Amino acid sequence: MAVRARHEDQAAVKIFLLLSPIIISGCAGGPATPPWQENAKFSLDSFQQAYLRGDTRVAEAEFARAKSELQSTGRADLVARAELIRCAARAASLEFDNCPGFEKLRADAGAEEVAYAEYLAGRVERTPSDDFSKLVSYGVKLKGGKAIPAEISSAIDISSGQGWRRPLLAWLGVQERRAEAAGDRDATERIRRRIALVSGAG
């Protein structure tokens, strides 16, 4: 049972963070992949990377294009899934809300979409499988007051390694506040210098 649950959880991570069920590759000799699938995948991938890099203008434009492609199918579950991908990127960057784009579509979303929304809300747990899903997991834990120092450090390392400016600044801010609260002046100043460097002010 534990093996099955772990397998299902890994599949869910792929569903929502790697977009595998949205983009179905055409089999050899089968019908060509509809353009909307390729366009939606490209724009959602571009949205995620631009958002994490901190390029809000590009991220918003790419998300709008992806959403338009998905809306052309008339499938609320696919649009809801895209909204969850946006909310996951926000959670990774410690920008929390109740995922209003998804909530508007909840009534027509599938069980998998609802389950992932519950995860982002902190009501269920999932096991992350890659850097992005780890950041999402850490964000969800921080929102619920359950993140430990090692996870905060890991979030900073992941964001730094990937060059994801938006979550890096957010997690450095968490680390700065913790160091300041602990009265560690040297650590606080060191973190502030790093924040200035990442933000272009240093």
- Tens of pLDDT, residues 163-193: 999 999 999 999 999 999 999 999 999 999 9
Q: Going residue by residue through the chain (202 aa), what tens digit of pLDDT does each one get?
A: 433 334 334 433 344 444 444 443 333 445 678 999 999 999 999 999 999 999 999 999 999 999 999 999 999 999 999 999 999 999 999 999 999 999 999 999 999 999 999 999 999 999 998 999 999 999 999 999 999 999 999 999 999 999 999 999 999 999 999 999 999 999 999 999 999 999 987 5
- Tens of pLDDT, residues 104-129: 999 999 999 999 999 999 999 999 98
CA 12 – CA 84 distance, rounded (Å): 12
How does DSSP classify residue 109? -
Long-range contacts of range 5-9, CB-CB < 8 Å, 24 or more positions apart? 6/127, 9/126, 9/127
What is the residue extent of each domain of the chain? 2-120, 148-199
Q: What is the 3-state secondary structure (H, E, C) of 29-76?
A: CCCCCCHHHHHHHHHHHHHHHHHHHCCHHHHHHHHHHHHHHHHCCCCH
CA 171 – CA 185 distance, rounded (Å): 18
CA 19 – CA 33 distance, rounded (Å): 15
